[in-house]
Homo-oligomer: A and B are copies of this chain.
Amino acid sequence: MAVSVTILHEARDGAVPRVLTVPAGTTILKAAHAAGIDITATCGGRGRCTSCRVKFVAGTVPPPTIMDEVQLGDNLVREAYRLACQCHLAESVTVQVAPPLDEQSFQILGAGSGAGLDRITLDSGVAKQVVKVALPREEHHQTSDVEALLAAVGLGPTRLPPSLLHALPGALREDPSGVTVTTFGGGIIAVERGDTSSMKFGLAIDIGTTSVVTTLIELDSAEQLASVSSLNSQAVFGGDLMSRIAFAQFNPLNLRKLHTRIIGLLNQHIAEVCRESGVLAKWIYKVVVVGNTCMHHILLNVDPTYVGLAPYAPVMRHALTLPARDLSLKVAPEARVCLLPIVAGFVGADAVGVALATRIYESPEVRIAVDIGTNGEVILGSRERLWACSAPAGPALEGAQIRHGMRGALGAIDRVSVDDDIHALTIGEGPALGICGSGVIDLLAGLLDAGVIDRTGLIQVEGRDALPPRLRERVGMRGEERQVIVLRVGEAGARQEIILTQDDVRQVQLAKGAIASGIAMLQRVSGTPAGRVAELMLAGGFGNYLSIASAQRIGLIPPLPRDRVRYVGNAASLGAQLCLLSEAERARTESIAERIEHISLATHPDFEQVFVESMDFPAAR
C-alpha cells in the first residue's frame, strides 16, 4: 500500500511543500532522503539525537515511540513532534521539518556582559568530504593510490599520515559510493569507506586531581550527546598532587603506573559516552584536554618530579597537538588530541580553560575567577592584566577525604539546611549514600549559624546544651572523636548513618583556607580592594547546585554583595568544549596563557599570616 507524505521545510527560503508517495511502513527520514530533501540526522537515523524531529500538522499524529519520549521529552511529544527516523508512515500525513538546531553558535560564559552567556561561531577545524577517487586503469600509468586521493581532495603529497595507508587500497576500491576523507589542520586524519560525512564528533576532557569529566559533543551542532565523570583512578596512589608526585619519584615504574591508569580511565569514559550516545569511537576526530600541570605531564608520561620541587618548573608549557594513537586513546587513531598551554608548575591548562570560558581576559572591569578543585586556581584581572595563583584546596570540596564524602552523583546529599534540626536533600531524591561538596558547604554554613561549630571550627560538644533538642542529639563524642550525625538510619530513607567528623571540618577548613587566602593574596598583589571587584565567578564540578550564600558563610569566598557573585559551573571543562568547537577559541588560549602572570604564594612574605587567618570561619552576619 502506498501512502503520501507532504513535507514542509520552512528553513529553506521559498521552498514549496513536497508531496512524496512511498510504500506504507517507510520512515519519514528515508522518504525525505530518497527524494533529496535534506533533513539533518546527526546520529545517522538511529533515534539517538533530536536533529531529525518533525512536527505533524495534518493527519493522525502517531503514538510516540520510546525513542521519541527519551529524546524529545514530554513537552515536544505533546506538541506533536516526532523523530523522522523513528516514524514509519501508516497513512497520509503532512509534517513540518523543525528548524535545524542553531548550528553556528555555542553558549559561553560571558564575564564581560551582564547577560551571562555569549555565543561563539562553530569552527572545530574538523572537515569531512566524500570523494570518488579516479584510479588508473592502464598499466603504463605512473601514479599511486595516495596521489589519486590527494588530487581528489586537493592536498599536497605529504599530508597523509603513514598509518592511514594500511587500509587505503581496499577503501578506494571496495565501496562504489566513494570514501569520506576527514581533515584537520590541513592534513588528512581519516579515510573511511562510503559516506560517513554526517558523523563528526569530539571530546572535551577535564582531568582533575580527584575527578575526571569527559563530554562527547557533535562538532557541527555543538550538541552535547553524553558526559561522564568519575573519580581519577590515580587517587589510589595519592589523593593530592604532592603525594602523587612523590609516588612517581619513588620508582620510575610508578610514573608508568599513573600514566596507564589515566589512559585506561579515559578509554573507559570513551567507551561509556559512545555506548550512551550510539556514536562509534572511530568517528571521534578531535579531543581537547585540560588539566593541571601534573595531570597534563602524567597524561603524556612525562616525569613530574620537578613540578613538585622548588622552583616547581613544568617540563613544558606550550600547547601540544598529537595523534590519539600516541596516547593509545581509543578514538580515530589519527584523531588530534589538543592539550592547552600551561602557565606555570601549579597553574595549568585548566586555569587557561577557566580564563577562556569566563572571558575574564576581555573584561573591562576587574573580575575574579575561582576554580574550586583539589588543585584549584584563582585568576584575577581584566583585559588590562591577569594574575593567577594556585589554590591547593585538597579533595575535601569534591567529597573526597571526608568520612562520608562522595562525588555529586545519584544519592549524594547536595543541599542541607539547619534550623532546630538538620534537613538534607539528595540528588535523585532517593536514599542518601553520602555527602558531596555543595552539601558539605551547606552543612557547615548551617552548623556555624546554629552554633554547633565555632569560628575555630571546633564542634561544640561541651556547649551543646544550648542547642535545640533535636539538633543537640546529633552532636556528641564517639570515642575520642567529635561528630555531628547528619542522617540516622531511616531518616530520609537513609540505609546507613551519615556523619560529619571533627576531622572532616578540619579538611574543609584547610580547603577553604587555601582558596580564600589565594583570593586575598591576588587582591593584595594586584592592589584590588573588594570594592573594585566587579564580579567573582565561582567555578568547579559541583553539579547543579552550589549555594553561594553558604560559600560566603564559611568564608570560602569573600563577602561581596550577592549580585556580584555568580556560580559558573565547570568552567575548565567548558573551556575545553570551546576549544573543541572553535579553532579561533583554541588559538586564543596561547595569548591568554602568555598574558597570565603567575604569583607564587609560598615565597610571598605575607602569605603565611593570610593563610592562617583564612582557616578560621567568619563571624556571624
- Interface 0/1 of A568-598, CB less than 8 Å to B: 0000000000000000000000000000011
Q: Which residues of A (112-155) have their CB < 8 Å from a CB of B?
A: 135-147
Is A170 interfacial (CB-CB < 8 Å)?
yes
Chain B residues in 8 Å Cβ range of A158: 318, 320
Docked-complex contact A170 and B303, CB < 8 angstroms:
yes
Partner of A170, one of B305, B314, B317: B305
Is A566 interfacial (CB-CB < 8 Å)?
no
Docked-complex contact A303 and B342, CB < 8 angstroms:
no
Q: How far is the CB of A349 from chain B (nearest CB, A)?
A: 13
Docked-complex contact A146 and B315, CB < 8 angstroms:
yes
| Nearest-CB residue, chain B, relative to A171 | B303
Docked-complex contact B316 and A139, CB < 8 angstroms:
no
Is A427 interfacial (CB-CB < 8 Å)?
no
Docked-complex contact B322 and A144, CB < 8 angstroms:
no
CA distance A166 to B305 in the complex (A): 11
Docked-complex contact A306 and B169, CB < 8 angstroms:
yes
Docked-complex contact A322 and B138, CB < 8 angstroms:
no
Partner of A169, one of B167, B305, B311: B305
| Nearest-CB residue, chain B, relative to A255 | B166
Given contacts A303-B170, A326-B162, contact A139 B315 (CB under 8 A): no
Docked-complex contact B598 and A140, CB < 8 angstroms:
yes
Chain B residues in 8 Å Cβ range of A167: 303
Chain B residues in 8 Å Cβ range of A173: 306
Is A251 interfacial (CB-CB < 8 Å)?
no
Q: Which residues of A (302-344) have their CB < 8 Å from a CB of B?
A: 302-303, 305-306, 310-318, 320, 322, 326, 342-344
CA distance A173 to B310 in the complex (A): 13
| Nearest-CB residue, chain B, relative to A311 | B139
Chain B residues in 8 Å Cβ range of A140: 598-600, 603
Chain B residues in 8 Å Cβ range of A599: 140
Q: Which residues of A (162-178) have their CB < 8 Å from a CB of B?
A: 162-163, 165-170, 173
CA distance A283 to B320 in the complex (A): 27
Partner of A157, one of B318, B602, B603: B318
Chain B residues in 8 Å Cβ range of A603: 138-140
Chain B residues in 8 Å Cβ range of A315: 144-146, 165, 168-169
Docked-complex contact B144 and A313, CB < 8 angstroms:
yes
CA distance A139 to B601 in the complex (A): 9
Docked-complex contact B597 and A145, CB < 8 angstroms:
no
Is A301 interfacial (CB-CB < 8 Å)?
yes
Is A24 interfacial (CB-CB < 8 Å)?
no
CA distance A168 to B142 in the complex (A): 45
Docked-complex contact A317 and B598, CB < 8 angstroms:
no
Q: How far is the CB of A108 from chain B (nearest CB, A)?
A: 27
Is A300 interfacial (CB-CB < 8 Å)?
yes
Chain B residues in 8 Å Cβ range of A602: 139
Docked-complex contact A136 and B313, CB < 8 angstroms:
yes
Given contacts A135-B313, A162-B320, A165-B315, contact A306 B145 (CB under 8 A): yes
CA distance A467 to B358 in the complex (A): 100
Docked-complex contact A142 and B322, CB < 8 angstroms:
no
CA distance A301 to B312 in the complex (A): 43
| Nearest-CB residue, chain B, relative to A317 | B144
Docked-complex contact B598 and A313, CB < 8 angstroms:
no
Partner of A317, one of B135, B147, B310, B322: B147
Q: How far is the CB of A431 from chain B (nearest CB, A)?
A: 47
Chain B residues in 8 Å Cβ range of A160: 316
| Nearest-CB residue, chain B, relative to A135 | B313
CA distance A315 to B169 in the complex (A): 6
- Of A138, A166, A168, A603, the most chain B CB neighbours within 10 A belong to A166
Q: Which residues of A (270-293) have their CB < 8 Å from a CB of B?
A: none
Docked-complex contact A344 and B142, CB < 8 angstroms:
yes
| Nearest-CB residue, chain B, relative to A320 | B162
| Nearest-CB residue, chain B, relative to A303 | B169
Docked-complex contact B302 and A168, CB < 8 angstroms:
yes
Residues of chain A touching chain B, judged by Cβ–Cβ distance below 8 Å, are 135-147, 157-158, 160, 162-163, 165-170, 173, 297, 300-303, 305-306, 310-318, 320, 322, 326, 342-344, 597-600, 602-603
Task: Enumerate 30 A-B pairs (CB-CB under 8 Å) in ascending A order.
Answer: A135-B313, A136-B311, A136-B313, A137-B311, A138-B311, A139-B311, A140-B599, A140-B603, A141-B313, A141-B344, A142-B317, A143-B317, A144-B315, A144-B316, A144-B318, A146-B316, A146-B317, A146-B318, A147-B317, A157-B318, A162-B300, A162-B322, A165-B302, A166-B300, A166-B302, A168-B315, A169-B303, A169-B306, A169-B313, A173-B306
10 further contact pairs, Cβ within 8 A, besides A136-B313, A162-B326, A165-B315: A139-B310, A140-B600, A141-B344, A145-B314, A146-B315, A160-B316, A162-B300, A166-B301, A166-B302, A169-B302
Q: Please provide the 5 A-B residue pairs with the shortest distance between their CB atoms, ordered closest to farther.
A: A146-B316, A139-B600, A165-B302, A144-B317, A139-B311
